[in-house]
Amino acid sequence: MTLSREKIQNGGLILFVAMITIGLAIVVSGFLGALLWASLAAMMFQPLFQRILARSPGHRNRAAAMALIVITVAVIIPALIVGSLVVDQAAGVYGQIRSGQINFAVYFETIVSALPLRLQTLLDSYGLGSFELAQARISQALGNSASSLAGRALSIGANAASFLLVFGVGLYVTYFLLRDGERIGPAIVRALPLEPAVAERLTDKFVAVVRATIKGSGVVALVQGALGAITFWIVGLPAALLWGMLMAIAALLPAIGPAIIWAPVAVYLLATGELWQAVVVTVSGVLIIGLADNILRPMLVGRDTGIPDWLVLVTTLGGIDLLGLSGIVVGPVAGALFICGWQILTEQRMGGVSAEGVATEPS
């Protein structure tokens, strides 16, 4: 009887905790993105906070404030400046698309007309009824994509007050997570309804993937985007910074990466007879932008996160589609925890492997 009462009470407590957690998530749903990036920032810059704290022991508030100032000056302000420039260029591209100065149909026709006749015939055979229809559909898709991108960039200005509110909340939360992260993190791990070894393993995987995505993939993507923007500026491509930002986003995707941006540009330059510009873009894309990933990623990531490239690609695209910018991190983390969780479950069901992955004798 006592055992049944305890089960009912424990079940009631779990139900209450689940319901109140869902309720809290609904209440703060408008700030989930800010809370997520505040948590990620606190996690990434915790070593900086510890170094500052080591110089002034016992002054955690001061150390957290100094760390937040460094983050603001070194990361946030440059990001806002670059973001404003990208929005300005996006507005210019959007206006040129609407006025007809940028016509993707003309660009498409120029590229295709430069192809060999046999290849043109082959492309025509794969069209839906006629080559002109395929050309119109592809041009319309490209135009809609560019217009959508520019329109979303312009919407930031329309929601400036909401953006500033969310941004302020993110900074405020980051301060407290930096100051109290040493206590909050272990407390959350202890509260998870999992075996301590399992909780610790999942936490380690979570931290490893977050750091690999932000410190590794994120920094590498920014470097490749910057190199792309410089390359496009050298060859005289309009809105070079905007295309560089698109390349940085594409660089987060394995296998294809920034080539989906610079390769079509090189093809267009070659088709229009701008040979040296096409050579510069191709050489930069292959030798400079491409090699940046191979050189920087091992230095910044330091170890393999154990996620297949195809899963990183799918989860990143799915995360962006579902959550926007936050999906760049959330997607790969979900994929990594999925793999780690099933590995632990398989090991435990086998009965001869512990949660830490060390062989044990069955009891």
Average pLDDT over residues 123-149: 52
Give residue 304's region: left, alpha or beta (phi > 0; psi -120 to 50). Answer: beta
Q: How far apart are CA 11 and CA 231, in angstroms?
A: 61
DSSP state of 233: H
Average pLDDT over residues 278-304: 76
* pLDDT band of 136, cuts 50, 70, 90: low
Say whether pLDDT at 214 is over 70.
Answer: yes
Within 8 A by CB and 6+ apart from 92, the residues are 238, 239
> Residue written as tokens 């100065």?
101
Q: Is the dihedral of CA 27, 30, 33, 38 positive or negative?
A: negative
Q: To the nearest 10°, report the CA torsion of 210, 213, 215, 221.
A: -160
pTM over 0.85, yes/no: no
In order, the DSSP letters of 236-262 are T-TTHHHHHHHHHHHTTSTTTTTHHHH
pLDDT the model gives residue 152? 52
Report helix, strand or coil for 201: helix
Please count the CA atoms within 13 angstroms of the CA of 111 that sit on its side-chain side. Answer: 17
DSSP state of 56: S
Say whether pLDDT at 235 is over 70.
Answer: yes
Give percent of the chain above pLDDT 90. Answer: 1
Q: Which of 114, 79, 124, 76 is nearest to 273 (CA)?
A: 114
Average pLDDT over residues 148-166: 59
| Cβ neighbourhood burial of 238 (10 Å; 0-12, 13-18, 19+) | middle
Contact 247, 262 (CB under 8 A): yes
- Which helix (H) or strand (E) segment holds residue 345: the answer is helix 327-350
Q: How far apart are CA 28 and CA 166, in angstroms?
A: 11
Average pLDDT over residues 210-214: 78
Average pLDDT over residues 73-102: 76
Average pLDDT over residues 62-91: 84
Q: What is the pLDDT of residues 11-66, one digit of tens each?
A: 778 888 888 988 888 888 888 888 888 888 888 888 889 899 888 888 888 899 99
Give percent of the chain above pLDDT 70. Answer: 71
Phi, psi of 353 (to 5 degrees): -130, 135
Q: What is the pLDDT of residues 241-268, one digit of tens each?
A: 888 888 888 887 766 778 888 888 888 7
Question: How many CB atoms within 10 Å of residue 69?
Answer: 11
Report helix, strand or coil for 353: strand
Question: How many CB atoms within 10 Å of residue 157?
Answer: 11
Average pLDDT over residues 217-241: 85
Domain ranges of the chain: 30-191, 195-348
Bigger pLDDT: 300 vs 272: 272
pLDDT the model gives residue 66? 92
Bigger pLDDT: 93 vs 275: 275
pLDDT the model gives residue 102? 62
Token digits for 257?
Answer: 């990466």
Report helix, strand or coil for 359: strand
Say whether pLDDT at 132 is over 80.
Answer: no
CA distances from 93 to 53, 70, 189 (A): 47, 34, 48
Average pLDDT over residues 102-112: 64
Q: What is the CA radius of gyration of the chain?
A: 25
pLDDT the model gives residue 236? 85
